[in-house]
């Protein structure tokens, strides 16, 4: 039972970390897109 709780905590933490990484990548992707738009103008 205790093991399951630990696993759930670790899963939750890695999920948060993962989401943070995704949103960072998303932001840099948007940045690249806007740079592309500026260049094409």
pLDDT band at 37 (very low <50, low <70, confident <90, very high): confident
**For the residues 21-40, what does the mean pLDDT come to?**
84
Q: What is the DSSP string of 4-39?
A: HHHHHHHHHHHHHHHHHHHHHHHHHHHHHHHHHHHH
pLDDT of residue 26: 86
Domain range enclosing 29? 3-40
pLDDT of residue 22: 79
Cα torsion through 9, 13, 14, 18, rounded to 10: 150
How far, in Å, CA of 41 to CA of 35, rounded? 10
For the stretch 12-27, pLDDT in tens is 888 888 888 878 888 8
Domain count, the chain: 1
How many CA within 13 A on the CB side of residue 8? 5
Is residue 1 helix, strand or coil?
Answer: coil
pLDDT of residue 10: 84
């Amino acid at each position: 039972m205790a093991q399951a709780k630990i696993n759930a905590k670790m899963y939750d933490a890695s999920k948060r970390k993962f989401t943070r990484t995704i949103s960072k990548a998303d932001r840099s992707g948007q940045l690249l897109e806007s740079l592309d738009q500026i260049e094409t103008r």
